[in-house]
Amino acid sequence: MPKGVRSTVKDSGLLQAALIGLEAQRQKIEEQISQVQAMLGKRRGRPPASAKAEPPEKKPAGRRKLSAAARKRIAAAQKRRWAEFRKGKAAE
């Protein structure tokens, strides 16, 4: 018999054995998955994170625009605060 044919038969038997082993493992894994799913079904309390509703989208945080009048009022107030601070330092 040619060498290639004989190795194919060995490979075929090896592949058949591997297939049987993998199918057995798959069966065990499927049983474990069903057990975990059953346990999740009986679970009480908070739902899993994937079942939660998504929060509404937030607007991107940006800088608020101030009017020119508002900027002037803020600047005047800050100038008054600094003037009072300097006045207190001079009195010491």
List, for residues 44-77, the tens digit of each pLDDT value. Answer: 556 666 655 666 677 777 888 999 999 999 999 9
List, for residues 1-31, the tens digit of each pLDDT value. Answer: 455 555 556 688 888 889 999 999 999 999 9
Q: Is the pTM of this model over 0.75?
A: no
Query: Which letter, b or e, does each residue of 64-89 get, where b requires 16 or more Cβ atoms within 10 Å of its Cβ?
Result: eeeeeeeeeeeeeeeeeeeeeeeeee
- What are the structure tokens assigned to 37, written together? 């799913």
Please give the pLDDT value at position 49: 63
Residue with tokens 């079904």: 41
For the chain, what is the mean pLDDT? 81
